[in-house]
Amino acid sequence: MKCKVCKAKAVAALPSHNAAFCKEHFNSFFMKQIAQGIKRRNLLERDDKVLVALSGGKDSLGLMYALAELGYNVTGLHIDLGIFESSIKARSVVEDFCKSKGYPLRVVELEKEGVPIPLIKKHIRRPICAICGKFKRHYFNKVAIEEGNTALATGHNLDDEIARLFANTLRWDQGYLSDQGPVLPAENGFAKKVKPLFRVTEYESAIFSFLADIPYHHLPCPYSSGASFTGHKMLWRDMELRSPGTKRAFYKGFLDRGRPAFAALEKEEKDYEINPCTECGYPTSAGVCSICRLKRQMQESMEQEAAKGAE
Amino acid sequence: MVIVKIEPEGQTVEYTKLNTVLQLLNKQGLHHTDALVIRNGELLTQDEQIRQGDEIEIRKVVSVG
């Protein structure tokens, strides 16, 4: 197989773009996708101070590298979840990566915050992945705002966005369908959120990080089910195989024609207000934010356990 | 003999004979955009020949979630 641009030996074929590329031209293709996506959907300004959420996986590390290469002012943020060996490994991958590239890095340790994920899992009887996501988003927002960052970037790629959009569509979730997208403007005390990888697939993102010699962490979380193809992603994989380019078209069509319709509806019907949490000051529509409520539940569960132990 | 390591599962599979990357992917039930196929630190496209004695890594790209 030959590179579409220079006819040298190709290292990757992309059916959705009807193209194959050598290492050099894959890199230019990928960087162009990121730069054009940022520009066309107004994700970032040149002077934005961007906090990049780094898990240690291919998407987040590749994103940090791509944004730095494009000249953005980036700082990494890693949340150490405290999940034993898995978190130690992920953190060291992130720390080594930032050190070798000279990128500034901020680490939040959930252990030090009193909420390591294994402790939450023990005391809160709800699906741990959802709760873990809540805590990560909380600290992303908190650090972004408190430390003067103007944007928070995450490594969600086209496949992630499609899976989420599809789930929101199956439920016709008006609230989520009114604002899902690659950019969520700063409002109500939340920093602007951007997903600069929204135009590239998981496969393209993996190739990019591999070719850039980024030593990413590719082991799944010990608390996840371990299935590599999950529900909606599997459906979309098959759809894309039958008709390459469907994912991109579905997402683009949603941003151009679907979302504005839901946003208009939502504006008419919105019946809640965002105010600072009465306990921690974090923006919430619920009086006391969900993080403070979860912390309280944990505290109660731990006190009950201690009381039982004392009997 | 061709030795194939499959990540993230960490499994190793041996094949007595394999002709191409496409054949390997088919045997694993994978499409070429499901995984990186790596030999000696280089990415392979699906039309590449596989030789006796090759050590190959299949790194699946679909993350959980």
Please state, for a pLDDT cut of 70, what percent of chain A lies above it.
98
Smallest Cβ distance to B43: which of A163, A202, A207?
A207
Contact B33 A203 (CB under 8 A): yes
Length of chain A: 311
pLDDT in tens, A228-237: 456 788 889 9
Cβ contacts (< 8 Å) between B44 and chain A: which residues? 11
Which domains are delineated in chain B? 2-60 (3.10.20.30)
**ipTM exceeds 0.90:** yes
Please list the residues that pair with B59 across neighbouring strands. B7, B36
**Per-chain mean pLDDT for chain A:** 92
pLDDT in tens, A80-106: 999 999 999 999 999 999 999 999 999
C-alpha span between A290 and A284 (Å, rounded) = 8
Q: What is the CATH number of domain A41-271?
A: 3.40.50.620
Please list the residues that pair with A184 across neighbouring strands. A193
Length of chain B: 65
**How close A309 comes to chain B (CA, Å)?**
37
> Which residues 6+ apart lie within 8 Å of A35 measured at CB?
A70
Smallest Cβ distance to A230: which of B43, B59, B64?
B64
Contact B63 A202 (CB under 8 A): yes
Domain boundaries, chain A: 41-271
Q: Lowest mean pLDDT: which of A109-118, A149-158, A275-284, B4-13?
A: A275-284
pLDDT in tens, A255-298: 999 999 999 998 887 677 888 888 888 888 888 989 999 999 99
In which region does residue B63 sit, left (phi positive, over 0), alpha (psi from -120 to 50) or beta (all else)? beta
Cβ contacts (< 8 Å) between A218 and chain B: which residues? 7-8, 59
